[in-house]
Amino acid sequence: MDIEELQSQLTLGEKIRLLAGQNFWETTPIERLGIPSAKVSDGPNGARGAQFQGGVKAACFPASTCLAATWDTDLVSRVGAALAEETMSKGAVCLLGPTVCLHRSPLGGRNFESFSEDPFLTGKLASAYILGLQGRGVSATIKHFAANEQETKRTRINVNVSERALREIYLKPFEIAIKEANPWALMTSYNLVNGIHADMNEFLLKTVLRGQWKYKGLVMSDWGGCNSTARSLSAGLDLEMPGPPQYRKVENVKGCLERGEVNAETIDARASSILEFLRTTGKFEHPETLSERAINKAEHRNLIREAGGRGIVLLQNDKNLLPLDAKRLKSVAALGLAKECLAHGGGSAAVNCHYKITPFEALRAVLGQDVELRYAQGAQTFRNLPDFQEDLFDSRGNPGLTLSRYQTRDFSDLPELITTIATGSYLPFEDRCEAIKLECTYRPSVSGYHYMSLSALGPAKVYIDEQIIFDITHDCDDPMAFILGGVPEEQAQFHFMQGKEYQIRVESLAPTNDSSTQGSFSLLAGLLGVHLGLMHQEIFEEDLLTAAVDAAKSADVALVFVGNPPSWETEGRDMVSMSLPAHGSQDRLVSAVGAVNDNVVVINSTGVPISMPWLHCVSAVLQAWFSGQEAGNSIVDVLFGAVNPGGKLPMTIPRALNDTPTYANFPGDLKELQVSYEEGIEVGYRYYDKHPEKVLFPFGFGLSYSKFRISDVKLQQQILEQKGRITITAVVENLGPLAGSEIIQVYIAPPEGPVARPPKTLAGFAKLQMDAGQSELAEIQVTFDSVAYWDETCSMWKAEKGVYKAVIGTSAVNVVGMVEFTVDDDVAFMA
């Protein structure tokens, strides 16, 4: 396909039409010239397809934090290849992942979607993911560029970050992956960076990405993240998503051309990127968009189970309680979230899984019927109340609510539609309107001060017998988060009497999209949505703890499954503490069980570090992450020794939230919509190396059922030159009775100099799998980039001459060897 020849045949209007999507998931075709559309799909751990909820089933792979905990680039590449097949099964040629923004704070609601607190580890794993995906002909989309480390006010927050921190920490994983794996697409972030929205930030897109890094791929906006017409085009944003366009209407762009705000060459460059993307993804050869299919592949099921197990980190194992021996057990208590499969976090990463294996199901399969398996929930973990849907009757006496739709905001006209809906949730993507009423008669089956909740895209009110219960006067701050279930809800209690009738009415308006409240987030303009929830008082306040303690008292072992269900760790909403939800209930469960049983194992499924006030009263702790649809099997494989845990933490677990470097400035000044990265480059272990007393479990830490000895650490070259590399070797021996893995980590400690630098930074790693008694040689190469820092005085990378230490460890604090090498000259360079 001759792109230049094809482009020469396009009219100006056709070129402009190419620069925005035709709908939510597809680019715009030009049928006259045989230019096809390309379909994209969320998300990083599974190809969901077009439907946000209840769509075609898909395989759910472990979230990126779980993959990162494997420290296994080969495994991550295999996952990428499998995700390519999943993407094609949804008729798409582009997967919207990986996410490579760093874990700046443990409160980040979307941390699970990304890999690590460390830019080097993140960049290397992202590269493997991209190479695996694109090796099968499906485009990766590296995101979100850049400095998108929080969900709070994500569409309007301005990130103030120093040039050095931006280069060394937040841009570095993008730089590594772009140079090593060449992702075919890149997505900009919602936020502003140093005062300019990312989609029209010339420094990010033109100076760094296109200029210094020589990136040639497609640059698209996040969904609704385009904030201008001319400025985004000139900065280098090729594609506004989704469609129909908000800014890139043909008449808008033509007007910019006429006024000289953008030139014709820029339009040609943007259109050329779209055409090149279509060629790269093979759309000219295969222009059709296939129907979505659910293909439940055995090899994908096996890979998900393998990856989930390899990512689990054994944090504590007192008395060598693990692995468990099923033959010696007579009774097991499976408590907490044992009957939930925490496969994924919330938001765009969620998929409609083919199936989900809960820990309880996996335990039953291993233990059989000879072992008594007890269950008790033990704690409440709900965040949003369930849909209001029971004991409701519409105007004709049928179950449900009467829906009336209006095209006036004051309800002055006759409704254009009157129908019945089943629940208090309403979110249509078509047939947009200005206002709705939901009305019903409620006949409660139980008396009590029941709990109600409300959230909406626009202003909304709830009346009970003409008494106002809720009155939301503003637009939703993050409409996409509303769709994905991540926005906070207002809650209230109302006393209902069994046998009485109550008239309930919801009035809701479409968002105003007033720029003073909405900023530039116009994706869902005119889309009306509302969620009304209800839970009976007796359910909300039910005592679940007593039954769990009783189940644990006489059990041989108590397995307490805790974690963050998707509504708690989700796109669109950061967490407010490191405590497990809700209101301390899971912490109370663990402490109470630990008080009555000496053999307690806590299995935590979160994508972030949590506080562990109960650590001293339990024997073992597994960090299981969100490990995909096979989560139950992956966890039980480790519990019973079918898999020897080999995962290592990709982030530090601090003792408390106030021990974190971002404690004072996350999520920032929300009134002024400013967040300052005042910690600079002291992110993660770079900070904790100076404050070891604040660490509960260090970066890179993880136990095994085996013991390993590392010896004979050697350096192959004594001098590191700018175009060269040095090789470090070490002998690793498995001293234990089981096959297992060890991860050798190499950190570089710089000499003292005029510029403050972290005590050490990760520069290489190697994962070795060994049988019992086996020895292997670890070989790790370190490049010149690893000794450089960003010099703000000249805006270049700089390596200072001197003697550097290569620190070899099995975590950021467990050092097993050290060698020295030399950099002979001061070098300033642009990588």
Which residues form the catalytic set?
222
For residue 14, give the 3-state DSSP assignment. Answer: helix
User: What are residue 18's phi and psi, to 5 degrees?
Assistant: -65, -20
Dig out the tokens for 537 from the structure: 């008082």
Give the strand pairing for 674-676 and 158-160: parallel
Which residues neighbour 814 within 8 Å (Cβ) at sequence distance 6 or greater?
Answer: 698, 701
Here the tokens at position 752 are 């003292």
Cis peptide before 692 (omega within 30 of 0): no
The Cα 736–Cα 719 span in angstroms is 37
Q: Are 714 and 729 in contact (CB under 8 A)?
A: yes
Closest among 535, 444, 438, 542 to 493, alpha carbons compared: 535
Phi and psi at 30, nearest 5°, equal -120, 90
Q: Which two three-digit tokens encode residue 528?
A: 């009306």
Cβ-in-10-Å burial (0-12, 13-18, 19+) of 474 comes to middle
Contact status, residue 579 vs residue 538, Cβ threshold 8 Å: no
Peptide bond just before 323 cis, omega within 30 deg = yes
Angstrom distances, CA of residue 152 to CA of 350, 481, 486, 615, 667: 19, 10, 11, 30, 7
| Three-state SS at 358 | coil
Cβ neighbours for 730, distance < 8 A, ≥ 6 positions apart: 710, 711, 712, 713, 714, 744, 777, 778, 808, 816, 817
Instruction: Identify any residues that bridge with 314 across adjacent strands, giving them in sequence order.
Output: 622, 703
Is 409 in a helix, a strand, or coil? Answer: coil
Distance CA(608)–CA(651), nearest Å, equals 8
3-class secondary-structure state, position 194: coil
Q: What is the Cα–Cα distance from 344 to 109, expressed in whole angstroms?
A: 12
Q: Is the peptide bond before 146 cis (omega within 30 degrees of 0)?
A: yes
CA pair distance 691, 578, nearest whole angstrom: 19
Task: Give the DSSP letter of residue 206.
Answer: I
Strand boundaries in 467-516, DSSP class E: 467-472, 490-496, 502-509
Q: Are 780 and 765 in contact (CB under 8 A)?
A: yes
Residue 354 half-sphere exposure toward CB, CA atoms < 13 A: 20
Cα–Cα separations (whole angstroms), residue 224 to 148, 240, 712: 15, 8, 55
